[in-house]
Structure 1
Amino acid sequence: MYPKIDFIYLSEPDMIEAGVLDAARCVNVCEETFSLLGKGDYLMGGANHNSHGMNIVFPKTSPFPNMPVAGPDRRFAAMPGYLGGRFDVCGNKWYGSNHANAEKGLPRSILTMMLNDKDTGAPLALMSANLLSAARTGAVPGVAAKHLANADAKTVSVVGCGPINKACFVAIMTQLKSVTKVVCFDLFQEKADEFAQWASETYQIEAVGVNEAEFGFRDADVITVAASRLKPLHFKDEWIKTGATILVSGPVNTEESFLTSAKIVYDHTALHEAYVEDAIGSGDKEAYYNGVIGGPFYRLIDAGKLPALTESTGLGDVVNDAKPGRVNKAERVIFIACGMSVFDISWGYELMQTARERGIGQQLNLWDKPSQA
């Protein structure tokens, strides 16, 4: 009871105990989140309520010896949001990223998540968020696979064999029950082979590792792309078979003929409108487009070769049956996911509730009585 404020702290082991690795459950929560997005029952940052977040990006040089300078994947970001429905909560994901972390035995990004009471602002939970973020990132294409892929898909291709695409593959496999083969592509053959061995042992299916992009795209029924932002991949129209579904969670480049002939479904069209607004506001729209997943699509929209985002389809529209997704088995579908803080909020809320029910985590006290009330 107020004015005393306690909140729960969940370490990474606590998050695992609460079920952060339960991919099927995470897909269900993210599907529920897409439904709320489609209805508009959410808010994110910025005047348009759709900003992906606020970034600290470091300069190339600095006269101050302690100020960080630019480096690969080096930034800080705050991603606030509110999600309605049964969640009805505010939250913020905060993370720092630096490619050089690997030299210290650390992941590229280190993330935490805070959930807050929507009325008072009081903290409800502080939690480790690396696994949370990876799980919801994977679950988003899992929802897309459920609604956009052919249910009898036999072959999945994993393009980029890092931890994010492992989460994507795990989520996809909870939805597609006919898969018998996975092709694992990475620029480094040993990473591709390692992923293939894990997939074979985990799912008892045929798995092969390759390091040529063509073999990672050609003849696959479902392709999940989450490769490095430092080396965006290029694939050719002719590699993509009839009826294929491409689930894009990382930057790619391809031929205009594919993008203008495939069915395009965005995670949330309003989010992409916000990216375009930011690109215009940056003063160098082309450079901005180069740095975001939707860049190739935005260029074609600007050129009048793709429908405007306001006329396009978001996955929430498909989940809510407001617009069609896949309309036939032969259609080639590409799904574009850029990530939204509301998914971290919904999955974090779900795990917080489980932790409370099971007595997981550590109770922390903010104050018994505020000194400045």
Structure 2
Amino acid sequence: MYPNIDFLYLSEPDMITAGVLDAARCVSVCEETFSLLGKGDYLMGGANHNSHGLNIVFPKETKFPNMPVAGPDRRFAAMPGYLGGRFDICGNKWYGSNHANAEKGLPRSILTMMLNDKDTGAPLALMSANLLSAARTGAVPGVAAKHLANKDSKTVSVIGCGPINKACFTAIMTQLGAVEKVICFDVFLAKANEFAGWVEEKYRISAIGVDEAEQGFRDADVITVAASRLKPLYFKDEWIKEGATILVSGPFNTDESFLTDCKIVFDHTPLQEAYVEDADASGNKDAYYSGVIGGPFYRLIDAGKLPALADSTGLGDVVNGIKPGRENAQERVIFIACGMAVFDISWGFEIYKNAVREGIGQSLNLWKRPSAL
């Protein structure tokens, strides 16, 4: 006899009630996740166990009338993984994205997360994951700020004033206690001003909106970058002050002189190596590099101008004390985050446990017993 299988369904309001927006706690859980990454107690997709996920990329043209065709930021992705430690669980984030969603009053991406028993594969929880994904995306640079930024940082710059950078800024602020000024840059000044108004209302500190990139980067102690993929971002070496920390969660380009004259910390170097493997397999390495956050670094590594990824620093090694993070107040540090399913799994697990403990969500039945085949 096979046992009955129930699993928990958590809607977006359920997720909020269960604590998905608790930025400080999310940073703590993500720091714990980085430690497990550094130790190797995890698995992700692909034969190398480090794939970001499997994407459905739509063709530019098709002979099938109902098949979707390529469009701005249009894709599906499955992001599976296993995370050890106290989590000891499998999960998968299912990611659908289409820039045209805005025309229907929908967010660009619509996400769900499934947690599964590692042994049987039985579902444990199905949850709304837009807020989950945004929270863990923000918490990753929050962990980086804790370990890489100067503690007396007074000016934070927000480059790209969308919902992802709001999550990043919220998490970063849980780790920095001396911030006095925030500069908010966006190519749309109205969005920058709106973000600045939100900062002033929530944090009671000075904030200004700007629409010129140089104003966004100059004189900032900590810079969080999460600009749109549809509008390429470029910044110059000369704009970045001594001692600055740049926390990158979105695509960018900059001067070669900056990238060869700063300390580089990746979220997880095996993930970055998997991206390079994918680029090699793509048949068009340069085009592939243009579409991923680490592309500017990979080009310089290929050219022998930066150390190989295997010799580079990952944040998990910094968290575990194996490699140094910031070594003095003067060095410029850049942190690169490309996103990993294990963070969705760890934060999803935390929210799932909260929900079970507090009686939040709806129990759904998979079967009382499976039908015989």
TM range (shorter): over 0.9
Secondary structure, aligned partner of 1:70: coil
Distance 2:64 2:306 in 1: 46
Specify the code of the residue in structure 2 equivalent to 1:70.
A
Aligned to 2:105: 105
* 1:251-266 equivalent positions in 2, closer than 5 A: 251-266=251-266
Post-superposition CA distance 1:297-346 (Å, at most 9, x none) = 00000111101000000000000000000000001000000000000000
* 1:356 aligns to 2:350 (yes or no): no
Distance 2:328 2:12 in 1: 42
Which stretches of structure 1, 4 residues or more, deviate above 3 A after TM superposition? none
* 1:344 aligns to 2:344 (yes or no): yes
Aligned to 1:38: 38
Post-superposition CA distance 1:55-88 (Å, at most 9, x none) = 0111111111111111000000000000000000
Distance 1:94 1:368 in 2: 26
Distance 2:197 2:246 in 1: 23
Secondary structure, aligned partner of 1:127: strand
Specify the code of the residue in structure 2 equivalent to 1:60.
K
Aligned to 2:49: 49
Q: Which stretches in structure 2 are left out of the alignment for 5+ residues?
A: none
**C-alpha deviation, 1:230, in angstroms:** 1.2
Distance 1:313 1:222 in 2: 20
Aligned to 1:331: 331
Distance 2:287 2:172 in 1: 33
* 1:273-292 equivalent positions in 2, closer than 5 A: 273-292=273-292
* 1:42-121 equivalent positions in 2, closer than 5 A: 42-121=42-121
- The TM-score with structure 2 as length reference comes to 0.99
Aligned to 2:370: 370
CA RMSD of aligned residues (A): 0.8
**C-alpha deviation, 1:90, in angstroms:** 0.2
Distance 1:313 1:219 in 2: 26
Distance 2:59 2:86 in 1: 42
Distance 1:2 1:286 in 2: 52
Aligned residues: 373
Cα contact 2:2–2:370 (8 A) shared by 1: no
Aligned to 2:170: 170
Distance 2:276 2:85 in 1: 28
* 1:201-280 equivalent positions in 2, closer than 5 A: 201-280=201-280
Aligned to 1:148: 148
Identity of aligned residues (%): 83
Distance 2:52 2:204 in 1: 38
Aligned to 1:20: 20
Specify the code of the residue in structure 2 equivalent to 1:54.
L
Which stretch shifts more, 334-343 or 224-233? 224-233
Specify the code of the residue in structure 1 equivalent to 2:130.
N
Cα contact 2:36–2:316 (8 A) shared by 1: yes
Distance 1:297 1:372 in 2: 54
**C-alpha deviation, 1:372, in angstroms:** 2.8
**C-alpha deviation, 1:43, in angstroms:** 0.2
Distance 1:125 1:192 in 2: 37
Specify the code of the residue in structure 1 equivalent to 2:167.
A
Distance 2:202 2:297 in 1: 36
Secondary structure, aligned partner of 2:77: strand
Secondary structure, aligned partner of 1:25: helix
**C-alpha deviation, 1:44, in angstroms:** 0.2
Secondary structure, aligned partner of 1:366: strand
Distance 1:77 1:52 in 2: 9
* 1:280-319 equivalent positions in 2, closer than 5 A: 280-319=280-319
Specify the code of the residue in structure 2 equivalent to 1:179.
V
Which stretch shifts more, 2-11 or 47-56? 2-11
Aligned to 2:11: 11
Cα contact 2:165–2:225 (8 A) shared by 1: yes
Q: Which stretches in structure 1 are left out of the alignment for 5+ residues?
A: none
**C-alpha deviation, 1:2, in angstroms:** 5.5
Secondary structure, aligned partner of 1:194: helix
Specify the code of the residue in structure 2 equivalent to 1:107.
P
Would the alpha carbon gap of residues 311 and 164 (structure 1) be closer, same or farther in structure 2, given more than 3 Å must change?
A: same
